[in-house]
Chain A
Amino acid sequence: MTEMRDGNGLATAEKLYTQYGSRARELKAAGKKIIGYLSALGPVEIMTAAGVVPFRLKGNVSEAISKGDAYMESIVCPFVRNVFDLAVKGKYDFLDGMVLPHQCDSIDRTNETWSYTLKLPYWHFLNVPHVTGDPSITFMKEILRIFIGTLEKFTGTKITDEAIAAAVKAHNENRKLMRDLYDLRKSNPPAISGTEMMKVLVAAMSLPVEESSALIKAVTNEVKAKGAAANGKGKRIMIIGDQIDDVAIIDAIESTGACLVMDDLSLGAKMYWQDVDATPDPLQGIAERYLRKLKIPTTFVGSADTYAGILEERFGHMKKYVNEFKVDGVILFIYKYCDPYGFEVPAIKSFIESAGTPVLYLEDEYSTSSLARVKTRIEAFLEMIA
């Protein structure tokens, strides 16, 4: 890895972003095992405890699908298809295995397409429940134990409770550091641009946890050292969605003079806002984080007595972000064929708008081919809220 020095955090993030997977490749050459995952449900604590490198797979919006369509239907989430296509083309040939948590139909129903096509030495489908009651927590712990068993068999090393507790600590620390960096977006203008932030988020998910933490720290110090800029005039935007892992859409927003100051994305706030509680049985805290604390649409919540209460449970965090980061407008960016997010568009939109913040809903493919159209809509939206 490029040596981390003061002042080169952003440059390192940029490099890791553009040469995505380069560090994993080096680690693999040094004898490490690399396990890929696809979403915020990837249980990174367990992978770290197993001594393998958790590596989140990313797509490439500029690359047309050329091989994956021979194996996977075009009705699948465009992000999943794009990543699969890259994997088939060998972009991730350093992977020793993958874990696919049960997130949505697009992942669940293509599990065999992935595993039978890529034929990696290690494969696991982690059957994460969609509901959160007590029986589900017990069940979640059981399936985590099964996952641990398969990893132990694969690596030949026992995963002790102590190792899991240590990994929990390291990942909590990592999340806290990232939240500290997010704090620097609260100023006006934000001390770090949305594009830079996206690169850091992407880079961070391609590294072992300690290296990821070092990178985030370096970026934070660098950004702080840069000092505050003059008063910003650009509109402050938050983006909500799942698998946005590219700067293309962020550029489209920021090139109009607006600033992306916050997100509720699967590689962003969804990953970093919630810690694992240190519990006597470390799996208890992990199960509770992934099932009860993570705010993702594939986990059903609805225990409140009134509909307003239920909306608050589901989306209350979004309103909090709007207030804390002084957001002027929200872009809800959803991929075609994504049922989990697609079905909640009217609810999210009216929930946020009811608090006085305008929302632009965009449905798109995972591709730059439609970027011009998206940009026009974003520009019109920004003009409207100006």
Chain B
Amino acid sequence: MAEEKKGRAVATSTAASIPKFVRGNLSATLKAKEEGKKVAAAFIADGQDEIMRAMDIVPAWGESYSGVCSAKRQAEPYLQKAESDNFSRSLCTYATCNIGFDMIREEQGGTMPEGAPWGGMARPDMILGNGQLLCDPRFKWPQATQHYLQDVPVFVTNMYYPPWDPNIDHHEQEPIYVKYITEELRETVKFCEKITGKKMDWDRLAATVELSDKTWDLFIDTYELRKHIPTPMDTGDAMNTMVPLTFNLGTQEAYDFYVNLNAELKQKIADGVGVADPEKYRVIWAAGLPSWFALGDFQYFNGKGVVFPVEVTYRGCEKIERLDLPKTNDPLEHIAWRWVRYWTHWYDAAKKRSGSTPKVERIIEYIEDYKCDGAVFHSAFSCRSWHAGIMQQAATLKNVYKDIPILIMEGDIVDISSYNEADTHNRIDAFIETLAAYKKRQG
């Protein structure tokens, strides 16, 4: 790639330790064999973290690795490899980048592709998919991978939550979903037992789930420190600090990371240090995965006095007490309730505001709590999951809330060909002008 790599300097020193986490996760897959552990190709936000951790299964996160390839601007050969076997360029590029990588490694008899970023990722012993509502690649990607890794068994579970319908009482439906998810998770455990040849240690699972709950709470407490003006951390950093929650849930390291981040943010607040100096505008990152190859754009915003004290993306948790979870001694049922309520706990608020939706209600809640003046969405062309429906969210936000400035940026997560820096910066500049006019009007 001829273009120069543009990273983003993180504002918090805790976030600077993230590459160590990511590398650690990758090298854990490479070391697993020596340690007699099984590797599972796994997907984030799939509800299976604690099962894997409690069974010493090492997750190989394809999305993470594609993100790394993208950030290093080294994804293209893998995308092309996948394309050479008829995977369309319009498919999820996290998946096609990873499949291309797997194809090359397989063709080379298991040797890592030359120059593989950060040493590469190991061949999995199993693939754990999830046919949940989040996205199709979560169960199609495993099947596509199996085409090249034919001896690797695939297990796909299904974790749904009640769909939003203003005319239906979702509370009545929740137990149906929880029962279903719990049974599905039990099947996942059985599959993992079969592959690892080990029985689940249920006490260890319960302890792991408890640690996750504590991590959820600490994560939210820490992120809520960003309500402070000036905000001590913004979305540019959060795209890094999400790593322990997203990829290392159920481990002590993840918890400890947020202890450190919490302390650092408190110190920044005490010292009056913000992300932008001066902080002129506060904006929510309202939806969308970022362009990993262009995280420097956050700095561009910051340089113009714009900060993102809050984002919807990668905030995959909530304070446990806010979810009002029914008591249960079954850790799988607890995971199920936590999962369902995480998604449904904006439903009641959405019902109270005519014409609203839970996704929009969540954005409104953050705009109010974090005192935002505008909203930025990112629409990545290769992922329908997070990016189809953004126009609807933006329009609803204006209709049911207020006519705040909104910017919808267009690009991709991995495919750099969709990106033009000058155009992006021009659009950001125009948006900032709208923000300025809006703030002036507000007085």
Q: Which residue of A lies closest to B175 (CB)?
A: A142
Q: Which residue of B lies closest to A363 (CB)?
A: B88
Give every chain A residue within 8 A of B135 (Cβ-Cβ): 105, 339
Query: Is A273 part of the contact surface with B, judged by Cβ < 8 Å?
Result: no
Within 8 A of A (CB), among B190-232: none
Give every chain B residue within 8 A of A300 (Cβ-Cβ): 129, 131, 139, 143, 156
- From A70, A111, A298, A343, B87 is in contact (CB under 8 Å) with A343
Query: Is A347 part of the contact surface with B, judged by Cβ < 8 Å?
Result: yes
* Complex contact A71–B385 (CB within 8 A): no
Within 8 A of B (CB), among A287-343: 297-298, 300, 302, 307, 310, 334, 336-337, 339-340, 342-343
Give every chain A residue within 8 A of B160 (Cβ-Cβ): 127, 129, 139
* Complex contact B143–A302 (CB within 8 A): yes
Q: Which residue of A lies closest to B186 (CB)?
A: A135
Query: Is B422 part of the contact surface with A, judged by Cβ < 8 Å?
Result: no
A300, B137: Cα distance in complex, Å = 11
Q: Known: A146-B173, A344-B140. Contact between A105 and B88, CB under 8 A?
A: no
Q: Which residue of A lies closest to B147 (CB)?
A: A347
Q: Distance (Å) between the CB of B101 and the closest chain A CB?
A: 15
Query: Is B43 part of the contact surface with A, judged by Cβ < 8 Å?
Result: no
* Complex contact B88–A334 (CB within 8 A): yes
User: Which of B14-22, B65-73, B164-172, B272-280 touches A?
Assistant: B164-172
Give every chain A residue within 8 A of B86 (Cβ-Cβ): 345-346, 349, 361
Query: Is B91 part of the contact surface with A, judged by Cβ < 8 Å?
Result: yes
Query: Is A236 part of the contact surface with B, judged by Cβ < 8 Å?
Result: no
Q: Distance (Å) between the CB of B153 and the closest chain A CB?
A: 8
- From B136, B173, B355, B396, A298 is in contact (CB under 8 Å) with B136
Q: Distance (Å) between the CB of B151 and the closest chain A CB?
A: 7
- From B139, B146, B165, B180, A130 is in contact (CB under 8 Å) with B139
Within 8 A of A (CB), among B125-181: 129, 131-133, 135-137, 139-141, 143-144, 146-147, 150-151, 154, 156-158, 160, 162-165, 167-168, 173, 176, 180
Contact with B along A357-385 (1 / 0, CB 8 A): 00001010000000000000000000000
Give every chain B residue within 8 A of A60 (Cβ-Cβ): none
Q: Which residue of A lies closest to B84 (CB)?
A: A346
Query: Is B85 part of the contact surface with A, judged by Cβ < 8 Å?
Result: yes
* Complex contact A343–B143 (CB within 8 A): yes
Give every chain A residue within 8 A of B384 (Cβ-Cβ): 73, 75-76, 105-106, 109, 337, 339
Give every chain B residue within 8 A of A345 (Cβ-Cβ): 86-88
A184, B184: Cα distance in complex, Å = 44
Query: Is B403 part of the contact surface with A, judged by Cβ < 8 Å?
Result: no
Interface residues on A, range: 35 or more
Q: Known: A125-B165, A300-B143, A343-B141. Contact between A112 and B389, CB under 8 A?
A: yes
Give every chain A residue within 8 A of B147 (Cβ-Cβ): 307, 346-347, 350
Give every chain A residue within 8 A of B146 (Cβ-Cβ): 302, 307, 310
- From A71, A105, A143, A342, B392 is in contact (CB under 8 Å) with A71
* Complex contact B165–A123 (CB within 8 A): yes
* Complex contact B156–A131 (CB within 8 A): yes
A73, B385: Cα distance in complex, Å = 12
Q: Distance (Å) between the CB of A254 and the closest chain B CB?
A: 25
A49, B167: Cα distance in complex, Å = 22
Q: Known: A71-B391, A73-B387, A346-B86. Contact between A127 and B91, CB under 8 A?
A: no
Within 8 A of B (CB), among A95-110: 102, 104-106, 108-110
* Complex contact B357–A116 (CB within 8 A): yes
Query: Is A124 part of the contact surface with B, judged by Cβ < 8 Å?
Result: yes
Give every chain B residue within 8 A of A337 (Cβ-Cβ): 90, 384
Q: Known: A125-B163, A342-B90. Contact between A116 and B131, CB under 8 A?
A: no
Cross-chain pair count, CB within 8 angstroms: 164
* Complex contact B391–A72 (CB within 8 A): yes
* Complex contact B144–A344 (CB within 8 A): yes
A314, B354: Cα distance in complex, Å = 44
Contact with B along A110-136 (1 / 0, CB 8 A): 111100110000011101011101011
* Complex contact A105–B388 (CB within 8 A): yes
A106, B150: Cα distance in complex, Å = 29
A347, B150: Cα distance in complex, Å = 11
* Complex contact B144–A346 (CB within 8 A): yes
Q: Which residue of A lies closest to B132 (CB)?
A: A130
Query: Is A138 part of the contact surface with B, judged by Cβ < 8 Å?
Result: yes
A71, B395: Cα distance in complex, Å = 8
Q: Known: A116-B357, A334-B88, A346-B86. Contact between A72 and B388, CB under 8 A?
A: yes
Q: Known: A130-B139, A146-B168. Contact between A73 and B133, CB under 8 A?
A: no
Query: Is B261 part of the contact surface with A, judged by Cβ < 8 Å?
Result: no
* Complex contact B137–A102 (CB within 8 A): no
* Complex contact B91–A339 (CB within 8 A): yes
Contact with A along B379-399 (1 / 0, CB 8 A): 101101101111110011000
Give every chain B residue within 8 A of A113 (Cβ-Cβ): 388-389, 391-392
Q: Which residue of B lies closest to A126 (CB)?
A: B163
* Complex contact A136–B158 (CB within 8 A): yes
Q: Distance (Å) between the CB of A139 and the closest chain B CB?
A: 4
* Complex contact B180–A139 (CB within 8 A): yes
Query: Is A150 part of the contact surface with B, judged by Cβ < 8 Å?
Result: yes
* Complex contact B388–A346 (CB within 8 A): no
Please indicate which of the listed interface residues A129, A130, A302 has the most CB atoms of chain B within 10 Å of its own CB: A130
Within 8 A of B (CB), among A153-198: none
Q: Distance (Å) between the CB of B321 and the closest chain A CB?
A: 28
Q: Known: A73-B387, A339-B137, A345-B86. Contact between A129 and B158, CB under 8 A?
A: yes
Q: Distance (Å) between the CB of A70 and the closest chain B CB?
A: 8
Q: Distance (Å) between the CB of B361 and the closest chain A CB?
A: 12
A106, B135: Cα distance in complex, Å = 10
Within 8 A of B (CB), among A68-95: 70-73, 75-76
Q: Distance (Å) between the CB of B275 and the closest chain A CB?
A: 30
Query: Is B363 part of the contact surface with A, judged by Cβ < 8 Å?
Result: no
* Complex contact A104–B392 (CB within 8 A): no
Give every chain A residue within 8 A of B180 (Cβ-Cβ): 135-136, 138-139, 142
* Complex contact B176–A112 (CB within 8 A): no
Q: Which residue of B lies closest to A350 (CB)?
A: B147
Query: Is B187 part of the contact surface with A, judged by Cβ < 8 Å?
Result: yes
* Complex contact B133–A102 (CB within 8 A): yes
A310, B184: Cα distance in complex, Å = 21
Q: Distance (Å) between the CB of B164 and the closest chain A CB?
A: 7
* Complex contact A342–B391 (CB within 8 A): no
Q: Which residue of B lies closest to A307 (CB)?
A: B150
Q: Which residue of A lies closest to B395 (CB)?
A: A71
* Complex contact B95–A343 (CB within 8 A): yes
Q: Known: A123-B165, A131-B157, A307-B151. Contact between A343 and B131, CB under 8 A?
A: no
* Complex contact B388–A76 (CB within 8 A): yes
What are 19 residue pairs bridging A and B, where the CB atoms are less than 8 Å apart in the complex? A70-B391, A73-B389, A75-B90, A75-B379, A75-B387, A105-B388, A112-B164, A113-B391, A135-B183, A139-B180, A146-B168, A150-B167, A150-B168, A298-B136, A300-B129, A302-B154, A307-B151, A339-B135, A343-B141
Show the binding face of B for A, using Cβ within 8 Å: 85-88, 90-92, 95, 129, 131-133, 135-137, 139-141, 143-144, 146-147, 150-151, 154, 156-158, 160, 162-165, 167-168, 173, 176, 180, 183-184, 187, 355, 357, 359, 379, 381-382, 384-385, 387-392, 395-396
Interface contacts beyond A71-B392, A75-B381, A131-B139: sample of 4 additional A-B pairs, CB < 8 Å, sorted by A = A102-B163, A112-B396, A298-B136, A339-B135
